[in-house]
C-alpha cells in the first residue's frame, strides 16, 4: 500500500511531513520517501506524483513488506534538507555525493543517469577545450549533482534555474553557451523536431538509486537487504524484457 502527495511550496511541505512523521512514527515497516521535482523522473499530474522514479519505486516496494509514502519537494537542495532534519527516511532518484553519503546509505542502482552537454546545432563550442571550461557560460539546474560537478571542476556557471524548460529558453536565446544536465531531463522538454536543433555530448554516466537514512536503517536493519534484493530482481526483469 502507498500514499502519494505532491507539494512544492517548502513551508507547506515541511508542515505536512512533520505531521505525517508524527502520525506514522509508530508504524512498523513504513518508509517516508522524498523526491525533488525533476521531470521526467518526478513531477505532478492531476495532483498525483508520477514519473519514471515513482514507477520504479512502486515496482521495487511491491516485492518487499515495506509500505511507503512519497512527498515531492521543489528541488534536490530541499530534499537533502528534509533528510538532514530527519523529516524523511529516504530520497530518490539520486546519484551519489559526499553530502548525501553522510546522512544516508545508497542502494543498488535502479538505472543509469547520463549527464550531458547540450548546445545549439551549428555552435562552434568545443566542450573539451580549456577555452570552453574557462569562458563559456553554462546553465544547469539548481541543487543537482550536475551543479556540484560543474563547480568542483571549475566551470563558469551563470544560470541555475529550477527546471529544464528555463534552460532550453536561455540556450535558444543565446543567454548561455551550453546546458549541462541529465539528458532525459533536457529531452523531456522537447519534441523530436525541436530536439534536432540541439547537439548533445555525453560527459559521464552515473548510477541513479535510492538513499535510505542511516537512522532508518538502525531501526530497520533488514530494510536495505530487502530493497536491494528487489532492485536486483527488477533490473533482471527489465534486462530480459529488452
What is residue 16's predicted lDDT score, i.e. its pLDDT? Answer: 52
| Domains of the chain, start order | 2-111+207-241 (3.40.190.10), 113-205 (3.40.190.10)
157-192 pLDDT per residue, tens: 999 999 999 999 999 999 999 999 999 999 998 887
Q: Which of 41, 59, 63 is nearest to 50 (CA)?
A: 41
Average pLDDT over residues 191-196: 81
Average pLDDT over residues 28-47: 93
pTM over 0.75: yes
pLDDT classification of 7: cutoffs 50, 70, 90: very low
22-32 pLDDT per residue, tens: 345 445 689 99
What is residue 8's predicted lDDT score, i.e. its pLDDT? Answer: 44
What are phi and psi for residue 34, nearest 5 degrees? Answer: -120, 145
Q: Which residue has the higher pLDDT, 241 or 183?
A: 183
What is residue 242's predicted lDDT score, i.e. its pLDDT? Answer: 60
Q: Cα 154 to chain center, whole Å?
A: 23
Amino acid at each position: 500500500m502507498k500514499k502519494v502527495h505532491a507539494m512544492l511550496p517548502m513551508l507547506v511541505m515541511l508542515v505536512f511531513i512533520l505531521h505525517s512523521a508524527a502520525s506514522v512514527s509508530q508504524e512498523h515497516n513504513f518508509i517516508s520517501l522524498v523526491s525533488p521535482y525533476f521531470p521526467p523522473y518526478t513531477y505532478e499530474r492531476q495532483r498525483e506524483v508520477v514519473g519514471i522514479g515513482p514507477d520504479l519505486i512502486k515496482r521495487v516496494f511491491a516485492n518487499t513488506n515495506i509500505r511507503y509514502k512519497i512527498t515531492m519537494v521543489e528541488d534536490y537542495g530541499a530534499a537533502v534538507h528534509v533528510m538532514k532534519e530527519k523529516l524523511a527516511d529516504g530520497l530518490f532518484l539520486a546519484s551519489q555525493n559526499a553530502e548525501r553519503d553522510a546522512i544516508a546509505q545508497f542502494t543498488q542502482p535502479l538505472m543509469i543517469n547520463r549527464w550531458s552537454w547540450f548546445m545549439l546545432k551549428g555552435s562552434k563550442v568545443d566542450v573539451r577545450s580549456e577555452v570552453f571550461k574557462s569562458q563559456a557560460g553554462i546553465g544547469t539546474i539548481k541543487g543537482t549533482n550536475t551543479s556540484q560537478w560543474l563547480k568542483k571542476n571549475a566551470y563558469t556557471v551563470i544560470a541555475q534555474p529550477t527546471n529544464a524548460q528555463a534552460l532550453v529558453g536561455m540556450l535558444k536565446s543565446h543567454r548561455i553557451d551550453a546546458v549541462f544536465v541529465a539528458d532525459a531531463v533536457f529531452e523531456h522538454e522537447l519534441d523530436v523536431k525541436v530536439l534536432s536543433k540541439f547537439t548533445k555530448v555525453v560527459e559521464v554516466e552515473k548510477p541513479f538509486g535510492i538513499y535510505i537514512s542511516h537512522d532508518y536503517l538502525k531501526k530497520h536493519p533488514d530494510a536495505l537487504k530487502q530493497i536491494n534484493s528487489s532492485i536486483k530482481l527488477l533490473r533482471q526483469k527489465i534486462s530480459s524484457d529488452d
